[in-house]
Amino acid sequence: MKDLFFIPEWYLKKRYFRKKLILRIFSVFLAAINIILIVFYMYNLNRLNDMNAYINDINLKNQNTQYTKEEYKNKTLESFECLPVQILNNITSQSICIEDKNISITGYINEGDGREKYTSIIKNIHNQNKFNIKNMYIPDKESKFTDFKIDLELK
């Protein structure tokens, strides 16, 4: 009572091989789709890496050109260039501190013509119209106008 219905053996084999063939075709089809998807993924990943590299190059160029443009000026260097030469020539010994737009000048002038040189330094700074005088140390009459300190700011 094993087989109540008679199904020929060749029919069972054909059905078995047909299922096996369909399974193989389906698996080959899925493998082909997977390979195609992997190729597209690798292609897009490569394009993405190229675009990132291109964007990084552009950013680096923009950062480098930002500091090399003619419009960009170093405020410390600009302050030093605007400092009048007459001031430096009138001072015997000096200490100049330049920081961004601020300049601090300290020094002393010979005792003989101290008053005239001190006023000429202040007039030169005022006439040049490039600096604001933030602070001045005006020497006492007893000190004979030898020591001074001037704090300036570039306009």
> Would you state the pLDDT for residue 16?
93
Rounded to 10 degrees, the C-alpha dihedral 17/18/19/22 comes to 120
pLDDT tens-digit series, residues 121-131: 778 777 877 77
Q: Which one is predicted more confidently, 92 or 131?
A: 131
Rounded to 10 degrees, the C-alpha dihedral 99/105/107/112 comes to 160
pLDDT tens-digit series, residues 132-143: 888 887 666 655
Rounded to 10 degrees, the C-alpha dihedral 42/44/50/54 comes to -160
Across the chain, the runs of DSSP E, i.e. the strands, are 93-99, 102-108, 131-137, 147-154
